[in-house]
């Protein structure tokens, strides 16, 4: 019998990359998924699969951590949207030659590790630190530090994920041609109507991408709660870390990770169905 599948030159050339993706990308993910069906506190991949870990999770209080993670991520995204849209608008339309400098200022912190930047905030905000210490010695003011509160966690998250909202938004706004805005204005629309009817819908692709990007990143956040929140709140990512390290319960950690992926995946798909990027771009 002849070979069933005749591979063309293109398919053959793609094999190395395909193998690389399978080993480097798909395999670890599949391993985590498979691990979540293994018996608790084991390290073997060859036991009989069961849903025991999931049952444990649903009987536990893990949902609190899930809610914290999703809630913090949602609030972060909303705060980022409110902060970034005006800034992005300014970068594209108002600041002119200063836009480049501003963009750089927002980019440079990305070159420094997230943890180092968060510890920088600690030094800045801690009691007798840069901010409160200075206020005390110069003005004699003694204020409570906001460190190790929910506000501090949000501050850290907004700070860390700001570029991921800002740059897609900047791109989205710059995609609105100025003649299109002029046309709406010329047809009698007020500045606000031009914004609502033309600029906002046409910059939607950038906004939606910014939302998705920051939400997915923020749900996976862990350092902010640990460092700036002083472990006052335990997000789901922290639970997963505990399961994999301190508790040495890999299958439970894997099950938590799979659940998180499912929740985030479903939310993202729902958002993408609601905001059809192709439609915004006028392709449909």
Where along the sequence are the contacts to another protein (CB under 8 A)?
A: 177, 179-180, 182-190, 193, 197-198, 201-202, 279-284
Tell me whether residue 177 or residue 265 sits nearer to another protein (CB atom). Answer: 177
Tell me whether residue 140 or residue 282 sits nearer to another protein (CB atom). Answer: 282
Tell me whether residue 11 or residue 186 sits nearer to another protein (CB atom). Answer: 186
Dist CA 196 CA 146 (whole Å): 37
Cβ 82 to another protein, closest distance in Å?
23
- For 38, residues 6+ apart whose C-beta sits below 8 A from its C-beta are 44, 45, 47, 49, 53, 250, 251, 254
∠ CA 266-270-272, nearest 5°, is 115
As a whole number of Å, the end-to-end CA separation of the chain is 47
Cβ 192 to another protein, closest distance in Å?
11
Tell me whether residue 127 or residue 279 sits nearer to another protein (CB atom). Answer: 279
Dist CA 280 CA 210 (whole Å): 15
Cβ 175 to another protein, closest distance in Å?
10
- For 83, residues 6+ apart whose C-beta sits below 8 A from its C-beta are 158, 162, 165
Cβ 198 to another protein, closest distance in Å?
6
């Amino acid at each position: 019998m002849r070979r069933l599948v005749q591979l063309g030159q293109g398919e053959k050339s793609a094999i190395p990359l395909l193998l690389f993706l399978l080993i480097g990308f798909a395999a670890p993910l599949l391993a985590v998924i498979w691990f979540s069906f293994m018996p608790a506190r084991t390290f073997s991949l060859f036991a009989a699969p069961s849903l025991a870990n999931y049952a444990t999770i649903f009987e536990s209080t893990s949902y609190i951590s899930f809610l914290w993670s999703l809630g913090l991520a949602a609030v972060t995204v909303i705060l980022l949207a409110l902060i970034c849209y005006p800034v992005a608008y300014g970068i594209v339309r108002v600041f002119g030659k200063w836009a480049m400098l501003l963009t750089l200022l927002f980019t440079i912190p990305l070159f420094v590790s997230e943890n180092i930047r968060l510890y920088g905030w600690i030094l800045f905000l801690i009691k007798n630190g840069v901010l409160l210490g200075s206020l005390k010695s110069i003005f004699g003011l003694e204020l409570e530090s906001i460190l190790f509160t929910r506000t501090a966690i949000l501050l850290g998250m907004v700070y860390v994920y700001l570029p991921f909202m800002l740059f897609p938004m900047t791109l989205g706004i710059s995609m609105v041609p100025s003649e299109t805005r002029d046309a709406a204005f010329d047809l009698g629309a007020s500045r606000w109507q031009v914004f609502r009817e033309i600029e906002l819908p046409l910059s939607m692709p950038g906004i939606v991408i910014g939302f998705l990007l920051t939400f997915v990143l923020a749900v996976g956040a862990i350092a902010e709660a640990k460092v700036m929140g002083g472990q006052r709140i335990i997000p789901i990512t922290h639970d997963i870390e505990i399961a994999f390290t301190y508790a040495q319960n890999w299958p439970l950690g894997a099950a938590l990770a799979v659940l998180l992926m499912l929740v985030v995946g479903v939310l993202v798909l729902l958002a993408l169905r609601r905001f059809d990027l192709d439609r915004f771009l006028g392709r449909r």
